[in-house]
A and B are shown apart, each in its own frame.
Chain A
Amino acid sequence: MLKRRSSILACAVLMSATAQTQQSHPDLSGVWSYAIDRAPAALKKEVNGVVTIQKIDQSARHGDATSVAGALPSTPKPSYKPEHLAKVKDLFDHESKVDPVFYCGKPGVPRIGSPRKIVQLPNETIFFYEDISGDPYRVIPTDGRPHRVNANPSHYGDSVGRWEGQVFVVDSRNFLDDTWFGEDGYFHSSEMRVIERLWKVGDNLVWQATVEDPVVLTAPWVMPPRLIRPSTERLEESPKCVETDGSKLLNNDHHLQR
């Protein structure tokens, strides 16, 4: 009887410790604002002579390398091996015609940006996104399991998560190589690995990604962190994507030019 009581007590202590460990992590769950570029326009509405102007919250669309607590030192651009520089330049020069996302392609990781919604559970965390290519989700195990061995390569890769102190670290690999990890022609190989770090600063979420690709890069590229505000805007199914403009392009202008 005494032995059984000891076992029950030990089990209770273990469960309590596990619960405390889980509770010691910040809860990243919630809906978060967009943290990528949005159309740079405001809406001017006039009804019966009354004018209102509604702006878009663009606060998180650019990385901030200097003012976010806990951020890794970042660089503005990735460092490609010399033999790949010409390809990057060519893709950059013809970006408006060849960027896969301009044709409703999946952006992949990390280009999809930070999740719009996070559901943090004891053994897994789920990221939800809204995107013109569809509304992907990522189920990220956090129970210590390794990457899947036989998973098919995909645009969002195979991810596992872990906690490093107050930082949630997501390690993703096994990517298809037909996405860009940045808008300026940043192509990658199927050997790309992406490390995302997420943590809280006050009520805000910070997302910072590092891209590793030993095939095309000389060093990991640490992207500038993005500070993301909580949002009350509910996620909504994205309408279908129908691209019809590609054949109408009459020059190689980039977006945001002129």
Chain B
Amino acid sequence: MRQRISVWPVAVLLMSAASSVWAHHSPSAIFDMGSRISVTGTLTKIDWINPHIVLAMDARGDGGKTEHWTFQSNPPSWYRSVGLARADFAKAIGQTITVEGVRARDRTPFGYMQKIVLPDGTSLELINSADPK
């Protein structure tokens, strides 16, 4: 179990939306949208809840101490609309995954997941929609 955190500039990708079904706070009010982190560790839990799904993982930090990371991501119904269910993530519980995303401004081990690499190598990434509206 090894934690690897790297930071690099990224194009802004906003995943929180405006009206009721998808509504939530501005991501830039919570997360540092200008940098992106990558954390590798063991998936310990997946909560399939609104307004965001939540993944919990343990990763080894500097000095070998285990850090408990939490990542939220898009709402359950969004994932449903792209053909993904809780089971697609839950099958990786207890195994090593890598999550990329943006970190909370308060620097706690909390972030917004933009990409996950599952144990079988499958990569799932949220990218900007080509929809011009």
Chain A residues in contact with chain B, CB under 8 A?
34, 36-48, 53-56, 58, 61-62, 96-97, 99, 101-102, 104, 107, 111-113, 130-133, 183, 233, 236, 238-243, 245-246, 248-258
Contacts and interface: CB of A to CB of B under 8 A. Distances in A.
Nearest to B74: A39
Given A249-B29, A257-B26, 5 more contacts: A43-B124, A55-B129, A104-B51, A239-B48, A239-B76
B24 A102 contact: yes
Judged by DSSP, the binding face of B is loop
Nearest to A54: B82
Interface in B21-37: 21-30, 33
Task: Name which of B28, B72, B123 has the most chain A CB atoms within 10 A of its CB.
Answer: B28
Interface stretch (B10-18, B60-68, B91-99): B10-18
Interface residues of B, number: 52
Nearest to B17: A37
Contacts, number: 187
B50 A41 contact: no
Between B84, B129, B133, the greatest number of chain A beta carbons within 10 A of the residue's beta carbon is seen for B129
Interface of B: 12-30, 33, 47-51, 72, 74-78, 80-84, 104-106, 110, 121-131, 133
Given A37-B19, A40-B14, A256-B14, A246 B25 contact: yes
A188 B7 CA distance: 45
A132 to B, nearest CB: 4
Contacts of B124: 43-45
A96 B50 contact: no
A101 B74 CA distance: 16
